[in-house]
Structure formats: C-alpha cells, structure tokens
Structure 1
Amino acid sequence: MSTEVRELLIALEAELKRLDCWQATPPSVQALASTTPFCMDTMGFTQWLQWLFIPRVHAILDQGADLPKGSNIKPYAEEALMVEKIEATHLLVLVERFDHLMN
C-alpha cells in the first residue's frame, strides 16, 4: 500500500501545481504551528496539503511507520475549496482516494 500512497502524494502535488496552487514560499512558522485541524485558522486547504499533509505522509512512509487510520479529509476539502473559489474536481477525487486507502 505504501507505493500506492506515495504515488497518490505525487499526484496530489502535480494537481496542486496544475491548479497553480503550489507556492514557492512557505507560510510563517506561526501558521505552520497551528493546532487547529487542517490549520484552518492560519492557512488555506491547498497550503495545508502542500506544507503539512504531503510532507508528513512522505515522512511516515520514509520512516516505515504505520499510516493513519480513518481518514476523512474530503468533506473539509469540499468546503474549503469552495471558500477558496478553486474548481478542483480532480483534486477532490485524489483526496477521496486517500480517504478510502486509510479506511
């Protein structure tokens, strides 16, 4: 499963770049330190994917640790992307695939 998850992370990154949501400059240290789910108080969903989610899941895979169980990211992604005014149908499909893999 780790190969499939890693391929999914690569696809998420590629889709963020295709949507022109990939950022060259990271959010502030304070924004990254948020303890609110999805850092919704300090950054947008696509920022959270780029700067926290994708790197953390890669780190888990690199360490050979167990992946999280019971992922349910898609409902938040749908709401957040609507607020960000990003038409991201394929990104939602990828997020849903991750949710299914983790359940």
Structure 2
Amino acid sequence: MAELADHLLAIERALRVAGLWSSEPPSPQALASEQPFCIDTLTFEQWLQWVLLPRMKVLLEKNLPLPSASGVTEMAEVVWATRADSLVGVMRALQDFDRLLAAHARRSL
C-alpha cells in the first residue's frame, strides 16, 4: 500500500513538472459530473488532480478496498494522443499506477 501511495505522489509530481497542475479547483458542479472521467466537465488532468488522486488517497488512508483495474493509462493515451511525447513522465507514472493496482488485485484474490 505504501508503494501505491508513493505512486500517487509520483503522478502529482509528474503533472506539476508537465505544467498540468492547477491551483484553482473546479466548481462543485463540475466535480459532480456523473460521466466517466467527468469528461463533460473537466479536462483529463483536472480529473486526475481533483478526482482520482483524492479518492485513491482516501481509499488508502481508510484501508478500503481498491479497484481491481484502473484504465487510466488507456484514457490518457486517447486524450493526450497528440501530446504523448511531451508527457512521457506523466504517462510513465500512470502506467506504474495501473501496474501496481493490477498487482494488488492479483495478490488479493
């Protein structure tokens, strides 16, 4: 679990280095979207920062069950298809996160 928490920090760090970290949170209405990845109200990087990272931190802190799969890397590949070369650090952090979640799920079986 500590390794997964470290990877959440790695995602944050990679987003900051890439200039994709925002100091201003989205509106409560934007965060309330019911669409996957809040695709209708947030950019993907906003979703990572304001939805995925906080939710995963809560799951880890409260020792709640983790998702068995993520799919975050696949979404990033679609959303950032034309920018993938400039976002290598973020992509690597997301890939590591997906791998760790999958490995955790396998151990939990």
Unmatched 5+ stretches in structure 1: none
Equivalent position SS for 2:80: helix
Match of 1:59 in 2: 58
Is the Cα contact below 8 Å between 1:38 and 1:48 reproduced in 2?
yes
Q: Output the CA distance in 1 between the equivalents of 2:49 and 2:8.
A: 10
For the residues of structure 2 that align with 1:11 and 1:80, how far apart are their CA atoms? Answer: 20
TM-score, normalisation: structure 1? 0.90
Q: Is 1:88 aligned with 2:87?
A: yes
For residues 10 and 101 of structure 1, what CA distance do their matches in structure 2 show? 14
Correspondence 1:71 to 2:63: no
How many residue pairs get matched? 101
Q: Corresponding residue for 1:31?
A: 30
- Deviation of the 1:64 alpha carbon: 1.0
Please, what TM-score do these two structures have when normalized by structure 2?
Answer: 0.86
Q: CA RMSD for the aligned pairs?
A: 1.4
Deviation readout 1:26-55 (Å, 9 max, x if unpaired): 011111001111111111111001000001
Shift of 1:21: 1.1
Contact 1:39–1:48 (CA under 8 A) maintained in structure 2: yes
Aligned counterparts of 1:76 and 1:95: Cα–Cα separation in 2: 10
Q: Give the fraction of aligned pairs with identical amino acids, expressed as a percent.
A: 36
Does the 8 A contact of 1:11 with 1:94 survive in 2? yes
Q: SS state of the match for residue 82, structure 1?
A: coil
Q: Write out aligned runs for 1:37-48 (5 A).
A: 37-48=36-47
Unaligned ranges ≥5, structure 2: 103-109
